[in-house]
Amino acid sequence: MEDLNLLNNIVSVDNNSFKLNSSNKKSAIYIIGIIILFLFTYFLFFSAPYDFQIDTIINIKEGSSLRYTSKYLEENNIIRSRVIFETFVIILGGEKYLASGDYLFESKISVFEVARRIVNKERHLAPVKVTIPEGFNVFDISKIFISRLPNFKEKEFLLEAQKMEGYLFPDTYFFLTTDDEQNVLSSMNSNFEKKIIPIRPFIKQSGKTEKDIIIMASLIEEEANGDIDRKVISGILWNRIFIGMPLQVDAELSTYKTKGLPENPISNPGIKSIEAAIYPEVSNYLYYLHDKDGNIHYAKTFAEHKVNKLKYLK
């Protein structure tokens, strides 16, 4: 009888073990199924497309909508799912405004990372650094930008820039690769305004118009050889105007034919030349020349000037 009870207990334990093992197997199957479903969903919707091209540059145009952008990214194999991309953009708070410009995708990234980068304007592209030297005219400026900005249109730039000669401030600028001639004009003219605002009261005190100061500054920029002689040359040129003598500036031939300032600036002066035009150094000199080493020599009379020519320009 005891042997029979022991046998029943053994059978009962085995049955419970079988039930427990069956339950564990089902749980494991469920877990594996969830993992497979997650991986399938990730690779189908969240991961980068298999034909994603590394080092791809994507341009998001100004004013592009979220739907247009998601379609554009899908067509260019940056994302798999437009819906997932749009959802992440909305979650990240960027659906109202997508930053335009070029974006470099140097490696495969998830759709979330694509959305995050675009919302946060992470272009991964170095800005284009452009330095415009003092005294460059609009034709000089256009030659620099033609080789630096793909969307820069020379003809359109010159049509507007010639009206702004003198008011495009020479400086170092940083542009996006998608910027064009309008961005250049806007940046350079805005910079001019920023620089000129603090000195406008002093221009007014000088008794001269802002336009006359900028024209004179453009002449000084062409004639001076650095900071040493800017203010002296300014004084000489203003003095010539005062006594009714033609300016006779080599950089602008019209000044040999007519008296007074040219009608418009001949280049874009820097702040030091503008200040020299405001604060000329008073002297008795009427003439000047630079020798082959760049040194300046002044003269009070034309006779003295002719002597300097023979002495320093041989």
pLDDT at residue number 10 = 44
Q: List, as own/partner pairs, every contact residues 75-79 make where C-beta atoms lie below 8 angstroms and the sequence separation is at least 24, other chains included.
A: 77/49, 77/51, 77/52, 77/53, 78/48, 78/49, 78/52, 78/105, 78/114, 79/48, 79/49, 79/111, 79/114
Rounded-to-integer distance, Cα 29 and Cα 164, Å? 75
275-310 pLDDT, tens digit each? 999 999 999 999 999 998 888 999 999 999 999 999
Task: Compute the CA torsion angle 160, 164, 165, 171 (nearest 10 deg).
Answer: -100
Report yes or no: 308 and 299 within 8 Å, Cβ to Cβ: yes
What is the percent of the chain with per-residue pLDDT over 70, rounded to a whole number? Answer: 85
29-88 pLDDT, tens digit each? 655 555 554 444 444 456 778 788 887 888 888 888 999 999 999 998 988 888 889 998
Q: Which two tokens stand for residue 236?
A: 């000489």
Domains of the chain in start order, with CATH, are 27-125 (3.30.1490.480), 128-194 (no CATH), 198-312 (no CATH)
Instruction: State whether residue 8 is helix, strand or coil.
Output: helix
What would the mean pLDDT of 167-184 be, rounded to a whole number? 92
pTM exceeds 0.75 for this model = no
What would the mean pLDDT of 88-113 be, rounded to a whole number? 86
- Asked whether residue 16 carries a pLDDT value surpassing 70, the answer given is no
Q: What amino acid is encoded at 118 in this protein?
A: I
Q: Of the given ranges (88-97, 140-149, 214-223, 233-242), which has the lowest mean pLDDT?
A: 88-97
- Asked whether residue 9 carries a pLDDT value surpassing 70, the answer given is no
